[in-house]
Amino acid sequence: MSEWPTVRLGDVSDLLAGYPFPSAEFTDNQADPRLLRGDNVGQGALRWDRAKRWPARGADGLDDYWLQRDDVILAMDRPWIEAGLKFAAVRDGDLPSLLVQRVSRIRGGSRLDRRYLKHVIASRSFTDYILSVQTGTTIPHISAKQILDFTFRLPPIDEQWRIAGILGALDDKIELNLRTGEALEGTAQALFKFWLLDSELDGFDQDGSLANAVDLLRDLVDPQLEPDTVFQHYSLPAYDAGREAISEPGAGIRSSKLAVPGGSILLSKLNPGIERVWLPDIKPDDRAICSTEFIVLRPRVGIGRAFVYEFLRSAPFRSTLTSLVTGTTGSHQRAHAEAILQVQLRLPGPSRAAQFERLVGPMLDRIAVARRESRTLVALRDALLPRLLNGEAGPSFGRGHAT
């Protein structure tokens, strides 16, 4: 490790800022090229827009803007969120796609393995550096030069491969858990649509409202009165950063929150065009609370948590919810709890509700298990990352274990 040289990122990688493709050309047509903008870069994951009339490969000198596997994508406007920098590495499933404005593409050169590069960008030292050099008050941002001026210790290429293999094995399992959860959620929603939305009524189904299926819980908690108690805080930023509650002492939570008992479901009132439906994973000893921007719903006996959760995620409910908003600006639109409870739905009969719970409930439990496992893996990866990048884990650490 003492022999690892300190290098400037710009000396061992290539950076390209995104092309300013006009937003008026964005489309929902799934046959058109995918565009990656700054707004699409999540913590370790990519989301996409579509574009029409993008020049074909080889046209107008824009070939460099087609992404490649293991390119690291970094948002240049608002690059920091509660969980860290907004970056991601491109995978095969993300391709083909194009780099657009407010995003930079960093690609490792001959001395810097592309997989190792991702872990350099994920390091705390890179985050701290970026936060120290960011400029702007209204819209904080970073420049290409600032990114390229970051310095770090560069091990030999074979050592980079070994470190990337260790950390990559953890990343692959985290990614598998994420994809498994997404597949299970898609299957559960498809079953809900087929069985409880599109199927014929039977003699036991009834028309009703959400108020017939849930109880609205409004118990307030003032964490400041329990400064030493560690609360599991279900906040909007925590949901957006990966649906993991944040452990915080009461002394650090400045406003009253809603109590979240086990078995409840959280639904965001704020900007309901963004789907935020949360199944809290609450352990017996947890003191769970949530933002008052959520409403806390407890499914009634005989209805089932799976049914209520899938109803809140269904397209008909989402469409109705967005029609209930008040407020004139996109960032401050809210739906009132009383109006939400009056949304109409078909209540399944006891037999159908029980069957749906037996079928879909275990899927939701499996998703919760995968998320718990991923939290453990993320903690392990984050603990290993600085030690490996600084050569502190020893030359034999992980040999024979990473694939």
92-133 pLDDT tens trace: 777 777 787 778 899 999 999 999 999 998 888 988 888 888
**Mean pLDDT over the full length of the chain:** 84
- What SS3 class is residue 216? strand
- Please state which CATH number belongs to domain 206-347: 3.90.220.20
Q: Does domain 6-153 have CATH number 1.10.510.10?
A: no
- Find the mean pLDDT for residues 374-384: 91
Would the pTM count as exceeding 0.85? Answer: no
Tell me whether the CATH fold assigned to 6-153 matches the one assigned to 206-347.
Answer: yes
Type of residue numbered 217: L
> Does residue 325 register a pLDDT over 90?
no
Q: Where are the domains of the chain?
A: 6-153, 206-347
74 within 8 A of 106, measured Cβ to Cβ: yes
Instruction: Give backbone dihedrals phi and psi of 197, rounded to 5 degrees, phi first.
Output: -110, -45
The pair phi, psi for residue 279, each rounded to 5°, is -95, 100
- At 217-240, the pLDDT tens digits run 999 999 999 999 999 999 998 887
Distance CA 248, CA 253 (A): 7
Among 44-58, 62-76, 218-232, 243-257, which is the least confidently predicted range? 44-58
With beta carbons less than 8 A apart as the criterion, state whether 363 and 188 touch. Answer: yes
* Predicted local distance difference test score (pLDDT) of residue 47: 61
Amino acid symbol at 43: Q
Q: What is the per-residue pLDDT for 192?
A: 92
The pLDDT assigned to 12 comes to 95
Tens of pLDDT along 6-61?
Answer: 999 999 999 998 877 665 555 555 556 677 666 667 655 566 666 655 555 555 56
Q: Strand pairing partners for 13?
A: 108
Instruction: Give whole-number Cα distances, 220 to 217, 258, 260, 293, in Å.
Output: 9, 5, 10, 13
pLDDT, position 262: 93
